[in-house]
């Protein structure tokens, strides 16, 4: 077996069913699928009976009630028979040529860790498309989630992350004490041991992400807080791009306050306030039009303003709150995630 595709699951039968159905279309057949499931009372298994004994891949379901994400991945990896472990999220749909693209790349490049981009499929909801834009666009995240580069120091993420099994075992897999950001932390440890990573541009997945702005806010809030925990364990891994959401949030608040300065301030204050207001407005207009053009939808462009603001404020607040807890209050474990 060359590839073992691993996904942690917890309820969401429709989502997991779509994920497994998408793997039935693969035009490469040297792979298996292993699910690490924590669904209470084993309620997910009956929904997946139809995939057992299919002609495309063998399916293994490891079950432990309330199994956490990192634990699920580690336990599933112990059962995996593949030379490479590929971790995927169950809210992803895998295109037909995914494994063929991975295999073609690995045939010509000696790497130990790899990943690919995520995108929104044409039939996703407008909100899902807007969230995808906010999470992946250069003008919102600086391309930090995936760049057009091959071998280097790219940090794959758990929704689309491949590792040579021998390397995974060498670094003892996921750190089960990390409740968020565990995938990036694993990438960091692998690279620190001298292994090579790669970004495979053609190995993309369709990522559904969150289904409401509230759920999206909670997710990015945890991402922001987790960045402080990652910084604690890997001090060299905090980059200027990680500070952008917090800086943006401060700038957005100042821009909102500037409206009063325009109306009530002196000439100098009005000039500065107008400049802030115009800069912030210009950025939001750029987000709107770029998303609208890429998604061919004015509605998605409008929603992208909302999702971008949600992402920036959520991540920035999580980052600031956990920084205060760890660095000022001296709470080594930080805030609860």
Catalogue all structural domains in the chain, each as residue range(s) with its CATH number.
3-116+156-209 (3.90.550.10), 127-142+213-337 (no CATH)
Whole-angstrom CA distances from 292 to 124, 143, 161, 266, 323 are 15, 18, 29, 38, 35
3: phi then psi, degrees, rounded to nearest 5: -125, 135
- pLDDT band for 127, please (50, 70, 90 cuts): very high
- DSSP percent split of the chain into helix, strand, coil, nearest 5: 55, 15, 30
Q: Is residue 222 within 8 Å of 318, Cβ to Cβ?
A: yes
The pLDDT > 90 percentage for the chain reads 71
DSSP alpha helix (H) spans, 24-116:
69-79, 98-108
The answer, yes or no, to whether residue 141 has pLDDT greater than 60, is yes
Structure-token pair, residue 326: 């760890």
In whole angstroms, give the CA distance from residue 125 to residue 115.
25
Rg (CA), the chain: 21
- pLDDT band for 263, please (50, 70, 90 cuts): low
Predicted pLDDT at 151: 41
Q: Is residue 205 within 8 Å of 160, Cβ to Cβ?
A: yes
The answer, yes or no, to whether residue 98 has pLDDT greater than 90, is yes
Q: How far is CA 165 from the centre of its chain?
A: 22
Among 212, 210, 219, residue whose Cα is nearest residue 179: 219
Q: Is residue 224 within 8 Å of 322, Cβ to Cβ?
A: yes
Among 258, 253, 255, residue whose Cα is nearest residue 313: 253
Q: What integer best gives the mean pLDDT of the chain?
A: 90
Among 67, 64, 55, 50, residue whose Cα is nearest residue 13: 50
Among 137, 66, 119, residue whose Cα is nearest residue 289: 137
Specify burial of residue 50 (Cβ count, 10 A radius: 0-12, 13-18, 19+).
Answer: exposed
Predicted pLDDT at 63: 95
pTM of the model: 0.89
The answer, yes or no, to whether residue 152 has pLDDT greater than 60, is no
* Local structure of 305: helix, strand or coil: helix
Question: What DSSP letter does each residue of 247-286 carry, written as one string?
Answer: HHHHHHHHHHHHHHHHHHS-HHHHHHHHHHHHHHHHHHHH
């Amino acid at each position: 077996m060359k590839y073992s595709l691993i996904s942690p699951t917890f309820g969401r039968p429709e989502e997991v069913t779509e994920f497994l159905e998408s793997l039935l279309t693969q035009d490469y057949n040297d792979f298996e699928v292993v699910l690490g499931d924590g669904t209470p009372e084993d309620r997910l298994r009956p929904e997946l009976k139809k995939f057992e004994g299919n002609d495309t891949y063998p399916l293994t379901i490891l079950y432990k009630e309330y199994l956490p994400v990192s634990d699920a991945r580690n336990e599933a990896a112990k059962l995996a028979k593949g030379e490479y472990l590929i971790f995927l999220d169950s809210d992803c749909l895998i295109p037909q040529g995914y494994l063929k693209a991975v295999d073609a790349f690995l045939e010509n490049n000696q790497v130990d860790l790899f990943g690919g981009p995520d995108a929104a499929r044409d039939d996703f909801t407008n909100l899902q498309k807007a969230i995808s834009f906010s999470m992946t666009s250069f003008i919102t995240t600086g391309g930090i989630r995936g760049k057009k580069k091959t071998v280097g120091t790219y940090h794959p993420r758990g929704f689309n992350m491949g590792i040579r099994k021998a390397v995974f075992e060498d670094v003892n897999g996921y750190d089960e004490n990390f409740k968020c950001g565990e995938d990036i932390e694993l990438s960091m440890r692998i690279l620190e041991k001298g292994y090579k990573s790669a970004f495979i541009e053609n190995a993309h997945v369709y990522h559904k992400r969150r289904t409401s702005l509230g759920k999206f806010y909670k997710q990015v809030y945890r991402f922001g807080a987790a960045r402080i925990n990652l910084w604690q364990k890997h001090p060299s891994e905090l980059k200027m791009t990680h500070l952008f959401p917090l800086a943006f949030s401060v700038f957005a608040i100042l821009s909102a306050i500037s409206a009063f300065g325009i109306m009530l301030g002196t000439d100098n204050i009005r000039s500065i306030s107008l400049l802030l207001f115009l800069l912030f407005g210009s950025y939001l207009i750029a987000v709107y039009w770029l998303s609208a053009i890429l998604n061919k939808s004015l509605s998605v462009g409008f929603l992208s303003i909302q999702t971008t603001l949600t992402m920036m404020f959520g991540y920035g607040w999580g980052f600031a709150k956990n920084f205060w807890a760890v660095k000022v209050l001296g709470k080594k474990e930080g805030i609860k995630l």
